[in-house]
Amino acid sequence: MSPEILLITGMSGSGKSVALHALEDAGYYCVDNLPPELLSAFLALERPAQPVAIAMDVRSGQSFPLIPQQLQTMRKQGVVLRSLFLDATTDALVRRFSETRRKHPLSHSEAEVEGPERFRSLVQAIELERELLADLRDGADIIDTSLIRPAQLQSYIKDLVAAPHSTLTLVFESFAFKRGVPLDADYVFDVRMLPNPHYVPNLRPLTGRDEPVIDWLREHDEVLKMFEDIEGFLARWLDAMARDHRSYVTVAIGCTGGQHRSVFLVEQLARTFGARWATIKRHREISA
């Protein structure tokens, strides 16, 4: 049986190097910035029977447009292929490039002009890259790295590759609206109208994974009704999504601080749906 191929792509500065390090730890044979025209030759090489991760993106230059065609050919040949796209907001990417003082790979214009016009601004380069990568983003498993630390990204990657690829995987993610909605969310539920444990002094330092908070939230009918509504929506449509060959569905649940209500609901939903579907839990605002 041929090894699994995991394509790592996404925005420059979104954390692809961190992802490759996590995959190496998980037992993957990793190759960074492989030219698209060498993909077939690389896959024909004799290698240990282990999964393979290949990072490909706009650094490929003029050969970048070959990537979708190469991927389509691989799938027709029966190669087991997964695609992971790392994304981030423009503000986050600008901050990272400013901190590292690295040039964006698209900062130099291909146009035959002289002078300052030959160089794009950082924001222009990022937006151009977003357009160029749009086709690769469609159909890929997406991770928004805008507000997560490298250690969190490594954990996300390891959870993702550990989930079965042959079935639909549900990703439940809690977040704080005050820090923005995750870019990788397929469905977003706003639970800020629910009773908030933040205003109970002895519950404020805890999270939605702690028993006192869990017990307090379960005492409120509005919380139980919200859980039932989200559960009912997903239960109704998951089979249809699986039939549509969706591999991952990310359900993001947000409250004000991302510590109590959203965390509680993510934990409860993951436990409920975990009996049938592969599930992954993420708490963006909680360290561990």
How far, CA to CA in Å, does 168 sit from each of 4, 211, 246, 279? 17, 30, 6, 9
40 labeled binding residue = no
d(CA 273, CA 179): 27
Distance of CA 263 to the CA centre of its chain: 18
d(CA 43, CA 30): 12
d(CA 258, CA 200): 16
The DSSP H or E segment spanning 278 is strand 278-283
d(CA 240, CA 23): 31
E strands in 59-168: 81-87, 141-144
Question: Of 100, 287, 124, nearest to 207 (Cα)?
Answer: 287
59 labeled binding residue = yes
**Which amino acid is it at 283?**
H
2 labeled binding residue = no
11 labeled binding residue = yes
104 CB-near residues (< 8 Å, 6+ apart): 12, 13, 97, 120, 122, 125, 126, 129
Residue 154 CB neighbour total at 10 angstroms:
19
61 labeled binding residue = no
155 labeled binding residue = no
52 labeled binding residue = no
The DSSP H or E segment spanning 31 is strand 29-32
174 labeled binding residue = no
d(CA 280, CA 266): 10
79 labeled binding residue = no
Binding-site members for ATP are: 10-17
Binding-site members are: 10-17, 57-60
Binding-site members for GTP are: 57-60
